[in-house]
Amino acid sequence: MTRANTDSARTRAADAAATPALTCTNLSKRFDDRLVVDDVGFDVAAGETYGLLGPNGAGKTTTISMICALLKRNSGSVVVNGYDLDQQPAKAKATLGYVPQDLAIYPDLSGAENLGFFGRLQGLRGRNLQRRVEEVLETVGLSDRARDRAEEYSGGMKRRLNIGIGLLHEPRLLILDEPTVGVDPQSRDSILSSVGELGASGIGVLYTTHYMEEAERLCDRVGIIDRGRLVAEGTRRELVDLVGEHDWIRLSVDGRPDRVVSRLQDLPQVVTITADDHDISLEVTDGHHVLPAVIEAAATDGDRVIGVELVEPDLESVFLHLTGRALRD
Ligand SMILES: Nc1ncnc2c1ncn2[C@@H]1O[C@H](COP(=O)(O)OP(=O)(O)OP(=O)(O)O)[C@@H](O)[C@H]1O
Ligand SMILES: [Mg+2]
């Protein structure tokens, strides 16, 4: 390859990476006279995992149904991997994979046969189809059960097969609607691992959930949706900072707590400090970064730190702060 070709290949790769996997703006949906999605807009970068976090009835499924062109929208625009959903619908849909909230698999076919069937529907044939079926089985961790009928699968395995179907045509944006609802904790963990690996492989992922632990574990950024409105978005840290929540550091010390407290209260990141005998609690900004300095200041002059705990506020408290209600009913 000549140098110029290398450069243009690099430019193309950079362009592909720079094109967002999804841009949606001003999405609204009305059922009769009820506005259930109200002016929602967000982007998912290439390679980013974006979580739409909100309680039952918030408008998550309605929003993604509009993005997947399964539901007409009352307003707004959707661009998938650079293709406008209205102007280039076939191209937009070809680069998008959708995993519905409800299972869509044939119970009397094996895992491999299900994938083969749906792959053919998507236009895959011959060796290419076979290669994709094997790759997808590997990705969702079902290679060793590929020949078993889907009705013999556990709930979590059925869900993973459902995800696999959405992956067959190698989408650059994968949309998953609450894929862990109703599965046992072990299956849930393996679904989350599969989705985490997909995110790490470089495709854009849009993931809806009402479990804040899942959003925290999987998502680079989270949009909080409530009553049809996107009320805030950002990284966990940005959301926590947005609502002004602080972190807490709890120390157990061996020595003179009064001396430790007086040294710690000079640190600029310390907001409040209280001591109960040898247990000291500090309210701090950005606990992760200040922790080494706290330990260093505490453990001098013969005073020792014998226990440390860092407590960071979670998205549950962000949701509560923004909406005045708990995420779960
Ligand atoms: N076809 C429909 N006709 C009328 N109302 C609808 C329809 N589909 C959804 N809704 C209403 O729109 C609102 C949002 O529903 P949606 O299914 O998008 O919520 P969700 O966030 O996906 O909730 P869940 O976590 O329970 O799946 C709800 O009040 C729901 O009752
Ligand atoms: Mg839903």
- Shared domain check, 252 and 151: no
Ligand 1 centroid vs 282 CA: distance in angstroms?
Answer: 43
**Whose alpha carbon is nearest atom 29 of ligand 1?**
57
**Count of domains for the chain:** 2
53 in helix, strand or coil?
A: strand
Phi first, then psi, for residue 10 (nearest 5°) are -65, -45
The answer to whether the CB of 184 falls within 8 A of the CB of 155 is yes
Q: Is position 326 within any domain?
A: no
**Whose alpha carbon is nearest atom 24 of ligand 1?**
56
For the entire predicted model, the pTM comes to 0.83
The DSSP output letter for 240 is H
Give the helix ranges, DSSP H, for 98-154: 111-121, 126-139
Q: Is 323 in the pocket of ligand 1 (CB under 6 A)?
A: no
Q: Is position 317 within any domain?
A: no
What's the pLDDT tens digit per position in 194-253?
899 888 888 999 999 999 899 999 999 999 999 999 999 999 889 988 888 888 999 999
Cα separation, 28 vs 7, in Å, equals 42
Residue 187: its pLDDT value, please? 84
What's the pLDDT tens digit per position in 248-294?
999 999 999 999 999 999 999 999 999 999 999 999 988 889 999 99
- Shared domain check, 233 and 135: yes
Phi first, then psi, for residue 101 (nearest 5°) are -65, -35
Q: Is position 236 within any domain?
A: yes
Q: Is 180 in the pocket of ligand 1 (CB under 6 A)?
A: no
Ligand 2 centroid vs 7 CA: distance in angstroms?
Answer: 44
What integer best gives the mean pLDDT of the chain? Answer: 91
Provide mean pLDDT across the span 167-178: 94
Q: Considering 240, 265, 291, which residue would you say is the last residue of a domain?
A: 240
Tokens 């491999």 — which residue?
Answer: 112
- Shared domain check, 199 and 236: yes
181 in helix, strand or coil?
A: coil
- Shared domain check, 177 and 140: yes
Q: Is position 80 within any domain?
A: yes
Q: Is position 110 within any domain?
A: yes
Q: Is 54 in the pocket of ligand 1 (CB under 6 A)?
A: yes
Tokens 């779960």 — which residue?
Answer: 328
Ligand 1 centroid vs 70 CA: distance in angstroms?
Answer: 14
Cα separation, 117 vs 129, in Å, equals 10
- Shared domain check, 146 and 293: no
For residue 24, give the H/E element and its range: strand 22-31
Residue 11: its pLDDT value, please? 53
Instruction: Return the minimum-mean-pLDDT range out of 7-21, 35-49, 86-100.
Output: 7-21
Q: Is 60 in the pocket of ligand 1 (CB under 6 A)?
A: yes
**Domain encompassing residue 157:** 3-240
DSSP string, 301-323: TT-EEEEEEEE---HHHHHHHHH
Q: 89: burial class by Cβ within 10 Å (0-12, 13-18, 19+)? A: middle
DSSP string, 249-262: EEEEEES-HHHHHH
Q: Is position 263 within any domain?
A: yes
Ligand 1 centroid vs 78 CA: distance in angstroms?
Answer: 20
**Ligand nearest to the Cα of 63, by number:** 1
- Shared domain check, 36 and 161: yes
**Whose alpha carbon is nearest atom 13 of ligand 1?**
57
State the closest ligand 1 atom to the C-alpha of 63, by its place in the atom list counted from 1: 18
- Shared domain check, 206 and 78: yes
| pLDDT of residue 1 exceeding 70 | no
Q: 6: burial class by Cβ within 10 Å (0-12, 13-18, 19+)? A: exposed
Residue 149's pLDDT band, with cuts at 50, 70 and 90, is: very high
Cα separation, 222 vs 76, in Å, equals 21
Residue 10: its pLDDT value, please? 53
Residue 2's pLDDT band, with cuts at 50, 70 and 90, is: very low
Q: Is 179 in the pocket of ligand 1 (CB under 6 A)?
A: no
Mutate to test the pocket of ligand 1, among 27, 29, 31, 37 (most ligand atoms within 8 A of CB): 31
Which amino acid makes up residue 264?
L
Mutate to test the pocket of ligand 1, among 60, 102, 323 (most ligand atoms within 8 A of CB): 60
Cα separation, 225 vs 54, in Å, equals 5
- Shared domain check, 126 and 173: yes
Ligand 2 centroid vs 292 CA: distance in angstroms?
Answer: 42
- Shared domain check, 218 and 147: yes
Q: Considering 240, 258, 291, which residue would you say is the last residue of a domain?
A: 240
**Whose alpha carbon is nearest atom 17 of ligand 1?**
61
Q: Residue 212: which residues within 8 A CB-CB, separation 6 or more?
A: 53, 314, 315, 316, 319, 327
What distances in angstroms separate CA 294 from CA 124, 229, 314, one per listed residue? 58, 40, 22
